[in-house]
Structure 1
């Protein structure tokens, strides 16, 4: 065997590592997304799948510069692009290229149509968007496409075994999700730049929300998971991150950092998405009744309580609209629009940007303490000294990619404010590819998951942990923190 520290070993490990290929492929998409900064619409042809009521409008190129392109053409180009870059990675890792291409083609189109179906207005439209689609009701499940993809994967993996076996070569959940997280860094980086341009007092309070989320929520949820529901650290850490920090992205990043099995963060993500829909239904009306005279408290509360970016922003938008109307009627006050949405968005952004930092901290703790999450952990397991090179080998490299894309966009935005609009456009184009990588991961997880084993792992207990932590603790602590930092602050009066 080649000595671990030798150049040959390092070269081989890098070429065969899904982590490093995630960094390279995610970084490549990120670089293409920088095109608008230099007036190049490189990814404008990428397909977007907006909320739709007319199927003919369910897919289209993201950029107006490609408005003459059909949704079908955009869909095909996006497929061939993702197939091409991932096939390069499969070649580099020594996989079966022919089986991968055939399997990936089947998986991709199943996933793509799940995303389209999940964005039907009756399924995905938030309450504030129903009038635009001329519909009386909707479920408000904006990320249902992920769930549909996972359900189909579960059906195939548990009941259509010959097809599942054939598709295994192309089902690479960890690689897909890590590539997506690297791309995600750009979107969060540009959000951070935009937040930096907002009112200073709101930004300071948004930073305080980060302290609240990480230092209060996380330990409590982890304690509940471990002591009351007897979850191992492999389940408890991603669950604590998903509930207390930033939903799906935090659960996935934490799972990768502690080397949890891929099924762990994805199952947690499915539970999180359902609870986000419940929060979106209940919290804005509740905040309107309780806090119509404290509008900024209500906005910040949405950012702290709703555990997905889309859900938090949507709830902030709803609160902004509902409270403005109620304040005008009950108080005779007309405030400017958008300030409650700003509080929700800013709070959420400052929570989001620490995902990579938290993943790094947990990766070091789990490595130094010798917590092997691929086997049941033992309470009170003693920490064992680990060499620096071992920490490096076990450290999730995709976190480096995530941090790099975030910091590059942050530096560009702060150094060249005039480039922010173009950078936001490019990051948005790249983020559509990130969404597809996430969806591919969800399907792949379903494909390789044994449902009976999953239930034995404690699916029912996950729901109980989430419900208890959210409704008995997180919502009310979040409300208290929001009140503490935003009490007495109101938006400017409308002109």
Structure 2
């Protein structure tokens, strides 16, 4: 059975200290504040563990900061576990959980989840094509976030075949709390990305922003309409699906699901499908770009940013495309483009797409709060005009405010004082390491509390169908057209030119 207090646990209807939404904000802001340390010359989160793509498992984990190189990977992992155990146990206890049972359950969940993350980072599973040579391998599946999926699968196995174990761990399986805390942290990372984009070539930035806005105004409503009209999804499913396909895959689906208060299973199932499709796109699109777009290199780069639905996948596709097109242009036309400009177009486009996550989540949170669209398959529109400002505030997901706060604070601070950007990037990267682990804990927790027999009935088959139809029927091609519209005729500098 799927357990969720998404609709019942509405901020304002329970005391703040008992509310999961508010605890997500507080924990996310606490980690965010620690991440500001490098701005002031203090590295407070450098010990956080980071899992790297590996061929030798003894080198799979290490502290995220070079300043902690003397620390072993195991020590870093243990400190990360203790830190998360402490802050989550405090929050759980205040919210009314059994502290001892939560701590034991969290410890088991953390151990299993992080093992899945490490296994998912095996080079033959996770390495993108542009990284294979450095790792000494000749092939890989290119599934960079497969650790999340492994965590969900293990959770499903335990939840469905070991009910006694699942029941014991359920106290610590808090998927919404983990997701929302992670998204508050994510706001800071998006703010830093935006600051970095401001230093790129002005033409690329302006055109990238225009391309994203125009693409998104087409993508989102069309996917939402198709999902509702032809595949009969409820708004609870259609909105995260439209965001996942239209904006930025996993992060967008999760942020939208939280903003509209969907059941936590919704964005996680969507994320599993998105990750597989990203791998397919990475195999196909750079080759297509090299074959047909080598005379329009910036169009090709922007296309990767608009079409590939994950940060890692889009940037990796941009790097692959950059390398492949430069090689073909040199061979076919004797032109040697400067390295990195196609990757810049892809990255810049993706940055603006990421920024749009917070904007769109905020808009959707207001609309879903006003019209209660998750009720009765979308029949909540009858409540129009009957919802008070207080009710909207009660229903409004507070983590969205946390996301906006961390994003805007770093963005405005960095604009006012550019000297903080370098330190802020270091700190947000470290905080983002904790965000990644929280997302992974969410995936395991979803698996643990989900009845797999209901999974297909929940819409897995139709999700694959609508994703396939929307992605290959129009999103890829609309993205190509918009990239052409804004980047046609813009060329990278030529080496020696």
TM-score normalised according to structure 2 size: 0.96
Q: Secondary structure at the match of 2:55?
A: coil
Q: Bigger CA drift: 407-416 or 235-244?
A: 407-416
Structure 1 pair 369/380, CA: closer, same or farther in 2 (3 Å)?
A: closer
Contact 2:155 2:447 in 1 (8 A): yes
- 1:412-423 map, 5 Å: 412-423=413-424
Map Cα deviations across residues 203-223 of structure 1 (whole Å, 9 max, x no partner): 111111221233100000001
Change (3 A) 1:445 1:129: same
Q: Note if contact 2:51-2:60 (Cα within 8 Å) is conserved in structure 1.
A: yes
For 1:158 and 1:375, how far apart are their aligned partners in 2?
A: 28
| CA offsets 1:243-264 (integer angstroms, 9 cap, x no match) | 0111111111111111110000
Q: How many residues align?
A: 486
User: Contact (CA 8 Å) 2:188, 2:406: kept in 1 or not?
Assistant: yes
CA contact (8 A) 2:294 2:328 kept: yes
Q: Distance in 2 between matches of 1:382 and 1:421?
A: 48
Which has the larger displacement, 86-95 or 397-406?
86-95
Q: Tell me if 1:144 matches 2:146.
A: yes
Aligned equivalent of 2:178: 176
Question: Which residue of 2 is the match for residue 101 of structure 1?
Answer: 103
- Separation in 1, partners of 2:126, 2:232: 35
Q: Which residue of 2 aligns with 1:359?
A: 361
For residues 155-194 of structure 1, the aligned pairs below 5 Å read 155-194=157-196
Q: Deviations over 1:8-40 (max 9, x none)?
A: x95952111111100110001011111111111
Partner in structure 2 of residue 425 of structure 1: 426
Partner of 1:210: 212
Tell me how far apart the structure 1 counterparts of residues 56 and 277 of structure 2 sit (CA, whole Å). 28
SS at structure 2 position matched to 1:48: strand
Does the aligned pair in 1 maintain the 2:371–2:380 contact within 8 Å?
Answer: no
1:480 match: 481
* Match for residue 81 of structure 2 among 79, 85, 90: 79
Shift of 1:89: 0.8
Give a deviation string over 1:302-333, Cα, whole Å, max 9, x none: 00000111111000010111111111111111
Whether contact under 8 Å (1:123, 1:142) holds in the other structure is: yes
**Secondary structure of 2:280 counterpart:** helix
Which of 10, 15, 38 aligns to 2:17? It is 15
CA distance in 2, matches of 1:384, 1:236: 24
Alignment correspondent of 1:3: none
Gaps of 5+ in 1: 1-8
| Equivalence for 2:396 | 395
What are the residue-to-residue correspondences of 1:253-292 with 2, within 5 Å? 253-292=255-294
1:370 deviates by 2.9
In the other structure, the counterpart of 1:6 is none
Normalising by the residue count of structure 1, what TM-score does the alignment of the two structures yield?
0.96
Contact 2:372 2:381 in 1 (8 A): no
Does the 8 Å contact 2:215/2:478 carry over to 1? no
Task: Report how far residue 92 of structure 1 moved.
Answer: 1.8
Contact in 1 for aligned 2:13/2:394 (Cα 8 Å): no
| SS of corresponding position for 1:420 | helix
**Compared with structure 1, are the counterparts of its residues 472 and 379 closer, same or farther at alpha carbon in structure 2 (3 Å cutoff)?**
farther
Preserved contact between residue 213 and residue 351 of structure 1 (Cα < 8 Å): no
Task: Give the Cα–Cα distance (whole angstroms) in 2 for the partners of residues 260 and 411 of structure 1.
Answer: 31
- 1:441-452 maps to which residues of 2 (within 5 A)? 441-452=442-453
* CA 1:387–1:60: 2 relative to 1, 3 Å: same
Q: Which residue matches 2:3? A: none
User: Match for residue 6 of structure 2?
Assistant: none
Separation (CA, whole Å) in 1 of partners of 2:492 and 2:414: 26
SS of equivalent to 1:456: coil
Q: Distance in 2 between matches of 1:436 and 1:149?
A: 11
- Give how far 1:375 is off: 4.2
Structure 2 unpaired stretches of 5+: 1-10
Cα drift, residue 383 of structure 1: 2.6
Question: How far has the Cα of 1:385 moved from its partner?
Answer: 2.4
* Preserved contact between residue 260 and residue 374 of structure 1 (Cα < 8 Å): no
* Preserved CA contact (<8 Å) 1:213 1:245: no
Residue in 2 aligned with 1:111?
Answer: 113
Within the alignment, does 1:457 sit opposite 2:467 as a pair?
A: no
Kindly indicate whether the alpha-carbon contact (under 8 Å) linking 1:317 and 1:341 is maintained by their aligned counterparts in 2: yes
Note the alpha carbon deviations across 1:43-78, whole angstroms, 9 max, x for none.
Answer: 111000010111110000111111111011000000
